[in-house]
Amino acid sequence: MTAVDADRNAHATPAAPGRLRTALRRLGRLLPTPTGTPFTFCYGLILLGTAVYADFGDQATVDQLLRDSSTDAAHLTDQPLVVLVASALWVAGGLYSAYGVAFALVLTALERRVGGARTAGVFLVGHVLATLATELPVAGAVAAGQLPESSLHRLDYGISFGLMACIGALSGLVSRPARWAMLGVAGAMCAQDLIELIDPLASAGHPIALLTGIACRSLIRDGLPRPVGARARAEAEADVVPPAAVPPARAAVPAPPRQRVEGDEPHAAADSALHSR
Tally of residues, the chain: 277
154 within 8 A of 72, measured Cβ to Cβ = yes
Identify the residue with better confidence: 33 or 235: 33
Give the separation between CA 54 and CA 179, rounded to whole angstroms. Answer: 34
Model confidence at 229: pLDDT above 80: no
Q: Given this model, what pLDDT does residue 1 score?
A: 54
For 24-79, write each residue's pLDDT tens digit.
777 778 899 999 999 999 999 999 999 999 999 999 999 999 999 999 999 999 99
Q: Given this model, what pLDDT does residue 21 score?
A: 74
3-state per-residue secondary structure call for the chain: CCHHHHHHHHHHCCHHHHHHHHHHHHHHCCCCCCCCCHHHHHHHHHHHHHHHHHHHCCHHHHHHHHHHHCCCHHHHHHCHHHHHHHHHHCCCCHHHCHHHHHHHHHHHHHHHHHCHHHHHHHHHHHHHHHHHHHHHHHHHHHHCCCCCHHHHCCCCCCCHHHHHHHHHHHCCCCCHHHHHHHHHHHHHHHHHHHHHCCCHHHHHHHHHHHHHHHHCHHHHHCCCCCCCCHHHHHHHHHHCCCHHHCCCCCCCCCCCCCCCCCCCHHHHHHHHHHHCC
For 137-191, write each residue's pLDDT tens digit.
999 999 998 989 888 999 999 999 999 999 999 999 999 999 999 999 999 999 9
214 within 8 A of 168, measured Cβ to Cβ = yes
What's the whole-model pTM score?
0.74
Instruction: Say how far residue 261 (Cα) sits from the centre of its chain.
Output: 84
Give the separation between CA 277 and CA 270, rounded to whole angstroms. Answer: 11
Closest CA to 208 of 123, 126, 138, 140: 126
CA distances (Å), 263 to each of 58, 266, 268, in order? 127, 7, 10
